[in-house]
């Protein structure tokens, strides 16, 4: 199983390396582009160690290798992706309740969002947009306070940074 996780990491590292390869090649002009090849080195190390972990078991069959790779991929790629999707969905639903729900629903949604370890910035974009177009001063202050409780920063400052 460890070998499968490491080989999945190697595949992921190669994917990152390929994605940034054009920028790395262009960056070679300024010498800093050499760092863009680090994912390939990482992939090589992961692949070598993962291969050794798979070969360490003498009675392993090709079917066992396939199972190890599948379990490794699930553990290292699928579970984090599903967790990220769950956090993003929870955040976007909660922001919608803050914007369009009753005050009680908004309080529950705000409490739910505060429990999340991280809130994706793209999920907070509707909150910023609603704040910018809001005419009612009380509602605008509520949105501002909600944003401050969620992020710890002032929404006016964040909007100024994004508009700059």
DSSP secondary structure of 89-106: HHHHHHHHHHHHS-HHHH
The answer to whether the beta carbons of residues 146 and 110 sit under 8 Å apart is yes
Q: pLDDT confidence of 17, banded at 50, 70, 90? A: very high
Note whether 91 and 154 are same-domain residues.
Answer: yes
The answer to whether the beta carbons of residues 148 and 155 sit under 8 Å apart is yes
Note whether 149 and 92 are same-domain residues.
Answer: yes
Q: Which residues of 120-158 are buried (b: 16+ CB within 10 A; e: fewer)?
A: eeebbeebeebbeebeeeeebebbbebbeebeeeebeeb
Identify the domain containing residue 39 by its residue range: 2-60
Is residue 95 a part of any domain in this protein?
Answer: yes
Model pLDDT for residues 67-111, shown as the tens digit of each residue: 877 887 787 778 888 988 888 888 889 989 888 888 888 889 888
Number of domains in the chain: 2
pTM of the prediction? Answer: 0.62
Q: CB-based burial of residue 67 (10 Å sphere; 0-12 exposed, 13-18 middle, 19+ buried)?
A: middle
What's residue 7's pLDDT?
A: 84
Share of the chain above pLDDT 70, in %: 98
Is residue 29 a part of any domain in this protein?
Answer: yes
Is residue 112 a part of any domain in this protein?
Answer: yes
59 has a pLDDT exceeding 70:
no
Task: For residue 16, give the nearest of 38, 46, 33 by alpha carbon.
Answer: 38
Note whether 55 and 122 are same-domain residues.
Answer: no
């Amino acid at each position: 199983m460890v070998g499968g996780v490491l080989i999945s990491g190697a595949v992921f590292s190669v994917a990152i390396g390929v994605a940034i390869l054009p920028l790395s090649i262009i960056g070679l002009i300024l010498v800093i582009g050499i760092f863009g090849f680090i994912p390939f080195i990482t992939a090589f190390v992961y692949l070598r160690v993962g291969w050794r972990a798979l070969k360490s078991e003498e009675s392993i069959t090709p079917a066992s290798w396939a199972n190890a790779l599948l379990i490794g991929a699930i553990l290292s790629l699928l579970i984090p992706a599903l967790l990220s999707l769950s956090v993003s969905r929870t955040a976007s639903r909660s922001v919608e309740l803050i914007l369009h729900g009753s005050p009680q629903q908004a309080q529950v949604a705000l409490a739910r969002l505060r429990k999340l370890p991280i809130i994706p910035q793209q999920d907070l974009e509707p909150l910023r947009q609603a704040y910018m177009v809001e005419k009612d001063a009380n509602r605008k202050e509520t949105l501002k306070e909600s944003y401050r409780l969620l992020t710890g920063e002032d929404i006016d400052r964040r909007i100024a940074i994004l508009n700059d």
